[in-house]
A and B are shown apart, each in its own frame.
Chain A
Amino acid sequence: MVRDITLGQFMPGTSVIHRLQARTKIILLIALIVFIFLCKNFISLLLITLFSLLTILMTRISFFKYLKSLRVILFIIIITGLFNLFYGSGVILWQWWQLTITLGGVYNALFVIVRIALLMMVSAVLTYTTSPTDLTDALERLMKPLTVFHVKVHEIAMMMTIALRFIPVLLEETDKIMNAQKARGADMESGGIIKRVKALIPVLIPLFVSSFRRASDLAMAMECRCYNGGKGRTKMKVSHFKLNDLFAAIISVTVFAGVIVCNILFPAVI
């Protein structure tokens, strides 16, 4: 059933990582991803991998859950891995017809696979340990400087909040409508693509109609509660950076410095 899909993937907890500020996590995550791609040799790659794995361990969420986050893009990992394997230069290891595998290719493939896998898993650290609301708030505050360029930061954040609130509601609604149409004999499980797409019409139209109805209700409810955009708005929850955020930043920066040092000290392989 559609209802079973979990959204946001947030897994509540009290680990060190959970307790970090969402803003800290976002900034450090971006930096970490940059450094994952800056690694030029195995030593620095090993360093960043260990750091990522340690962070994952510290979330106290089963490692299996992180592997699951990889499943979605397994196909992409394999394809890009293979692609890189055959497009390298250097010592030829194996050759058949038009296909050659070189040592450079092997290195490239290895790096690409590790990088994408790490990228997915550390991103999962953010979404697993931060509630969607905190995430939205943090994004709103981080993006605040963009208002100078007339980016409607508050509006974007409000849209995200409302989307997060209503996605589960609409999923449940989809489920109900599907059941109602199935009860009238709608066949959504058999036939070719065209038939299946056609079978969706009786579900999609009521879903649109109901979304518009909900939107107009919600707009009225927001008006009743004096919503007037971001102007003059205050916040109940204002989070401040704490000591643990500083520690996290110091440790991360040290590791990132280590990556740069390793990159300089040891020869690059890609």
Chain B
Amino acid sequence: MSVIKAENISFVYSPGTAFEKKALDNVSFEIEEGEFVGIIGHTGSGKSTLVQLLNGLLRPSAGKIYLDGKDIWEKPKKIRNVRFRVGMVFQYPEYQLFEETVYKDISFGPGNMGLDEEETDKRVRKAAEFTGLKEELLEVSPFDLSGGEKRRAAIAGVIAMDPDVLILDEPTAGLDPLGREALLSQIADYHKVRKNTVMLVSHSMEDIAAIADRILVMAKGKKYMLDSTANVFAKGDELEKLGLKVPQVTKIMMMLRKKGINVDPAVLTVDQGFNEILNCLSAR
């Protein structure tokens, strides 16, 4: 059974006012348990709205969202339980840090869940480990951390709730390439160990290319496609028309194909590109 199912969901901001804006229009999809799904789209494509609907921060104007087959808005008073199960890491999450120590900040979520001290402690340490935060940093004020460490601490704060579905909205925005790479591999490792569902929103396809099983492409508030990563990247032309940037190596393959050279267009990383060219050369 799918862990998350969206059924014809639409969302309108400030309905009935001059600022009325349709952000999502009749979107349906299903996400299987344990999947790693990338969500890409242009700014304003509705991807950020979509993820806020999935964990009940926004309520759809129309349509239903099911978590394990249950409508999440069946009991609006219990929506907090949905938020614990569908963890959400916002863009620039370091701006939410507020406690005296990193440890206390990470335990904010588990505390709100009403977990006892022992369980909270276990989860905080586990979450710090997952995100690569060093043990000694737990007793430091979050405001004394470096930019990258703050980001990790904030993500740990959500992971500590041990959600069944983890959603990350642009987790690497503003980081330098080293930080970006390290964080992405940490997320991939977390997914491998915890075996839960992870959804990663990004407009940088390079981020998603190497780790996502499937990719949901959003455009103008609608689902443009939802397919395996390789299949989505094979349609590089269409993605570029949507204003999305494909990785440079994918673009090189696309351009080679246009020149009549038969290479696989679904190349996502330099490694794959290198092997593909070698294959081509040895096949001749």
> A: which residues have CB within 8 A of B?
4, 173, 176-177, 179-187, 201-202, 205-206, 209-210
Picked from B14, B17, B95, B158, the residue with its CB within 8 Å of the CB of A206 is B95
Closest to B160 in A: A184
Asked, given contacts A179-B90, A185-B84, A185-B113, whether A210 binds B95 with beta carbons under 8 Å apart, the answer is yes
CB pair A181–B83 under 8 Å, yes or no, is no
CB pair A177–B161 under 8 Å, yes or no, is no
Asked, given contacts A187-B112, A202-B108, A209-B143, whether A181 binds B161 with beta carbons under 8 Å apart, the answer is no
In the assembly, what is the distance between CA of A186 and CA of B55, in Å?
A: 14
A-B residue pairs in contact (CB < 8 Å), sample of 20: A176-B95, A177-B95, A177-B96, A182-B83, A183-B87, A183-B90, A184-B83, A184-B112, A185-B80, A185-B84, A185-B108, A186-B108, A186-B112, A187-B80, A201-B98, A202-B96, A202-B108, A206-B97, A206-B98, A210-B95
Closest to A186 in B: B112
In the assembly, what is the distance between CA of A209 and CA of B55, in Å?
A: 27
CB pair B161–A185 under 8 Å, yes or no, is yes
Q: Which residues of A lie under 8 Å from residue B52 when comparing CB positions?
A: 179
CB pair A180–B112 under 8 Å, yes or no, is no
Q: Which residues of A lie under 8 Å from residue B112 when comparing CB positions?
A: 184-187
How many chain B residues touch A (CB < 8 A): the figure is 25
Q: Which residues of B lie under 8 Å from residue A181 when comparing CB positions?
A: 96, 108
B57 sits at the interface (CB 8 A): yes
CB pair A180–B93 under 8 Å, yes or no, is yes
CB pair A206–B83 under 8 Å, yes or no, is no
Besides the contacts A182-B57, A183-B55, A209-B97, what 15 more A-B pairs have beta carbons closer than 8 Å? A180-B95, A180-B96, A181-B96, A183-B83, A183-B87, A183-B158, A184-B96, A184-B109, A184-B161, A185-B83, A185-B108, A187-B112, A202-B96, A205-B98, A210-B95
CB pair A202–B90 under 8 Å, yes or no, is no
B154 shortest CB reach to chain A, Å: 8
Q: Which residues of B lie under 8 Å from residue A173 when comparing CB positions?
A: 95
A236 shortest CB reach to chain B, Å: 30
B157 sits at the interface (CB 8 A): yes
Q: Which residues of B lie under 8 Å from residue A176 when comparing CB positions?
A: 90, 95
A204 shortest CB reach to chain B, Å: 8
Contact with A along B50-89 (1 / 0, CB 8 A): 0010010100000000000000000000001001100110
Picked from A183, A201, A209, the residue with its CB within 8 Å of the CB of B57 is A183
CB pair B98–A202 under 8 Å, yes or no, is yes
CB pair B98–A184 under 8 Å, yes or no, is no
In the assembly, what is the distance between CA of A209 and CA of B87, in Å?
A: 24
In the assembly, what is the distance between CA of A42 and CA of B238, in Å?
A: 74
In the assembly, what is the distance between CA of A182 and CA of B52, in Å?
A: 11
B91 shortest CB reach to chain A, Å: 8
In the assembly, what is the distance between CA of A180 and CA of B109, in Å?
A: 11
In the assembly, what is the distance between CA of A84 and CA of B61, in Å?
A: 49
Q: Which residues of B lie under 8 Å from residue A205 when comparing CB positions?
A: 98
In the assembly, what is the distance between CA of A73 and CA of B144, in Å?
A: 46
Closest to A190 in B: B77
A117 shortest CB reach to chain B, Å: 26
A247 shortest CB reach to chain B, Å: 32
In the assembly, what is the distance between CA of A185 and CA of B84, in Å?
A: 7
Asked, given contacts A4-B14, A202-B108, A209-B143, whether A183 binds B88 with beta carbons under 8 Å apart, the answer is yes
Chain B 105-121 interface residues, beta-carbon cutoff 8 Å to A: 108-109, 112-113
Chain B 140-170 interface residues, beta-carbon cutoff 8 Å to A: 143, 157-158, 161
In the assembly, what is the distance between CA of A62 and CA of B72, in Å?
A: 42
